[in-house]
Structure 1
């Protein structure tokens, strides 16, 4: 019975523990197959103790970055739509991945090559910013971790 009480106590205390800090990880960038076309950035955001909203992503490696989402449109065709912002739930995980949410990177600089790392800065409604390094992969290269 004591063991059961200890388990219940630990579970109750764990539920009351503050959630972690807002963070981002697993960032990577896919270069475009055709020069002059946009590339895409992907990453995971882990929500902190309070809900927040991702407002923008920027990088010095591209002239413009836009939040986007891919979705199935009419007749099963894939379509993309820009996103104004993306809600990050408290303690939740937000994935930016191929076939879903992503960041379109327009006019990636010619010096950016596969195998490099480039910085991404994520800006949130709370005023927080996160800076992460993204691995760069070529258009035909496998995604990191695949």
Structure 2
């Protein structure tokens, strides 16, 4: 007995439906948030806080950055530098919104991390791990290059 598929449109629709079903799990999975160019500048005076910098990039959905921690610091706070004429001040930030496909830039003179109680074993040329904690439970850890007070990472922070 010879088998015939008299309806090629139905066969094509079935194949397309199968292909769509196989690709749906990948489409529904949100892209990961990334952290790039992470670096930390040590303080000029031992015992004072260090400053941390990085670029945080969002993906498919908005997120809230709640806190950042460092493996070699007792406490880490997010701060923002504000200018009013010739006066400059800083204020702590409780959280930051990361828009879908947006960025949070932690950079000198703007938003940055303050790292308190740095372990004395941390030296320029080394690394430390920064962990970014988001409201949905996402955690992203990245190695951050450590530089001396007054030095700049030159845009080449650890990835």
Measured against the shorter chain, the TM-score band is 0.7 to 0.9
Task: Indicate whether 1:35 and 2:38 are aligned.
Answer: no
Selected match of 2:96 from 62, 69, 86 = 86
SS at match of 2:117: strand
Q: After the TM superposition, which segments of 4 or more aligned residues of structure 1 sit over 6 Å from their partners?
A: none
TM-score (structure 1 length as normaliser): 0.83
The structure 1 residue matched to 2:66, chosen from 52, 55, 76, is 55
Q: Deviations over 1:27-85 (max 9, x none)?
A: 00000000111001100011110000100000121111001000103x43110000000
> Unaligned 5+ residue runs, structure 2?
1-26
Name the residue aligned to 2:107: 97
CA RMSD, 1 decimal = 1.6
Based on CA coordinates, which of the two structures has the bigger radius of gyration?
Answer: 2
Structure 2 length as normaliser, TM-score?
Answer: 0.76
Counterpart residue number, 1:117: 127
2:116 counterpart of 1:106: yes
| Partner secondary structure for residue 74 of structure 2 | strand
User: In the TM superposition, what whole-angstrom CA distance separates every residue of 1:107-128 from its partner, at most 9, and x where no partner exists?
Assistant: 1110000000110100000110
Structure 2 residue 65 is the aligned partner of structure 1 residue 65: no
The number of residues matched between the two structures is: 129
Q: Are 1:20 and 1:91, in contact at CA under 8 Å, matched by a contact in 2?
A: no
Alignment partner, residue 15 of structure 2:
none
Corresponding residue number in structure 2 for 1:44: 55
Contact 1:61 1:112 in 2 (8 A): yes
Q: CA shift at 1:93, angstroms? A: 1.4
